[in-house]
A and B are shown apart, each in its own frame.
Chain A
Amino acid sequence: MLKIDNITKSFGGLRAVNDVSFSVNQGEIVGLIGPNGAGKTTLLNLLCGIYKVDSGSVRFEGNDITNLAPNRICHMGISRTYQIPQPFDALTALSGVTVAVINGKKRENMTLSDAGLDASYFLEFVGLFAKRDTLSRDLTLYELRMLELARALATSPRLLLLDEAMAGLNPGEASKALDMIWSAQEQFGVTILWIEHVMKVIMKAANRLVVLQYGEKIDEGPPEAVMANEQVIQAYLGGSDVND
């Protein structure tokens, strides 16, 4: 479904992403892991069109989406959440999701009230229906993350890019969020590419893992095989000067 071929991106002298290629098939959950500074969020931004690719190509369902404008990419069926939640502060939760519903795809025969109904369905799915009239700046972190998820799902994506959806949540909230993401995958049929640091969650959830370090892909495969790889362990824990 998503095919990334040899993309490279440099900022000045720094090679943030260096010749990375992998693909994501329909219906699976792919985890993108790696130590901090590996270029994971940069890769996500490149996929979304926020940064321009230096070289290489990205194909989505057969169409070339390299360097397309972000709103066009959204219309093609990709949406994302953010590492630090970015809600629309002065809008209510319902209005925020309504914006996503109206603009995500070309909708026929939809007025503002119909979009509001659609939005409240998504809010109820993530469990925020009771808070639909609260301003986004008054929501807690967990609710903000759920709002982000609702907003991303409201644009009817086929590929969902999650950026550290578990950061800052305690274990109870984390397992609730994981259940939510799983049910989203079942109910809406989305494919997920997930950047994550919390290993417990990503090991459980992902079908496949891709590991990045210093902008390069160092491994790819099922979670157990990847986690047993020497190079990956060294990337996270340090080099040969660590005593076992």
Chain B
Amino acid sequence: MVSFELKRDRILARWKKQKYEWIIEPRYWRNPILWSMLLLVVPLFITGYPNILTMITVANLYACITIPLALQMTGTGRLNFGPQLYLGLGGYTSALLNLHLGFSPFFTLVATILVCMLVSLLLSPITWIAKGLYFSLITLILPLAFLDLTFIYGSLFRGEVGLMGMSPVINLGRITWNYVSYYYLSVFMMLIFLFVAEKIAQSRFGVTMAAINENEDVALMMGVNVNKYKVFYYVFPSILTGIVGWFIVHTFRTFAGITYLPLDFMLKMLIIVMIGGRASVYGMIPGAYFVCFLEDSLRSLGTVNYFLFPLILIIVLVALPRGEGIYGLYHKRHPRDYFPVMRVRRE
């Protein structure tokens, strides 16, 4: 079926008449492996401070939401103002199925994937029908419509209070062990998302995606099936976001649409994308950590934090150079790497 072959610096995989290769270059892998090791040993140092562990878990989840978002923005070529629709959709699907029908976490995962896939396939025509700004506007409106829906059918969705008491993914008895296990689960999920997104971006799909982003008509004339790519880049990140919703439901065991669906949360995600470095998948992680740490450290100041948080973000956004965000400070970008210009009004 699939045959593998190891060459000096690459692994080749052949399947039917297709050939995939994976270049193994040690200098590209050293830094990511070091950072991953660091992430994995963190719990050993902070066993006395469980709230920091939760904070890092939440930061990992923010990164998991924004990594597909970054992929989606370059893939469909438009700004998506409503990724949290699928977060809410996935979360409510798994929560309701778990509470009312007693599905186990595994089956709710399957159900979440199916529901998100169906809904995003249903909504995918807007990627090729709606021009530039209108796509962004429709995606802006959709989560708010969903939020309205959850309030209207309040008895089912428990509107502002939220659903509680869903079964956990892993229950190890003691609470600290549970928190640590959730932390490791979130780290693994984030690393897997990062790996998948990076592989897609660096492959032939990534180059074609860049071409579509630059000039659709020319790409169409060169044999690219533009609509198929756009649908894929809308559906796949939506499914990934739905999986994050499933994770939130089964680890934190409460889920309220009011936390995740309104504009405030969307703004946080958008800020992470901007601050982390436009459409650079690796950059989402430092962006997510920065925003999460900022939010948590400001929380101790009382209600004034709601005002300081946007202020500090404005200052950071304005001060960062060249639109590359925090990740740009760390990673020197090759001129020949693709740096997309996100055009909001695309005619």
Contact = CB atoms under 8 A, between A and B. Distances in A.
13 contacts: A48-B221, A71-B224, A71-B225, A79-B222, A86-B217, A88-B215, A89-B215, A90-B214, A90-B341, A99-B224, A103-B224, A112-B207, A113-B21
B67 to A, nearest CB: 21
Contacts, number: 95
Contact of B221 (A80, A109, A113, A114): A80
Interface stretch (B37-45, B76-84, B284-292, B332-340): B332-340
Contact of A102 (B14, B208, B215, B217): B208
A75 B223 contact: yes
A99 B222 contact: yes
Contacts of A111: 12, 19-21
A75 B223 CA distance: 6
Interface residues of B, number: 32
Kindly list the 9 A-B residue pairs having the minimum CB-CB distance in the complex, ordered from nearest. A74-B223, A88-B214, A103-B223, A108-B17, A99-B211, A111-B21, A109-B19, A103-B224, A70-B220
A91 B214 contact: yes
A108 B19 CA distance: 8
A208 interface: no
B21 A74 contact: no
A88 B226 contact: no
Interface of B: 12, 14, 17-21, 23, 203-204, 207-208, 210-211, 214-215, 217-226, 335-336, 338-341
B218 A88 contact: yes
Contacts of A105: 223
Nearest to A92: B336
B340 A90 contact: yes
Nearest to A48: B221
Interface in A195-240: none
Given A96-B211, A115-B204, A155 B223 contact: yes
B338 A71 contact: no
Nearest to B226: A71
A82 interface: yes
A169 interface: no
Contacts of A74: 221-223
B207 A99 contact: yes
Interface in A44-85: 48, 50, 69-71, 74-75, 79-80, 82
A50 to B, nearest CB: 7
Contacts of B204: 102, 112, 115
A73 to B, nearest CB: 8
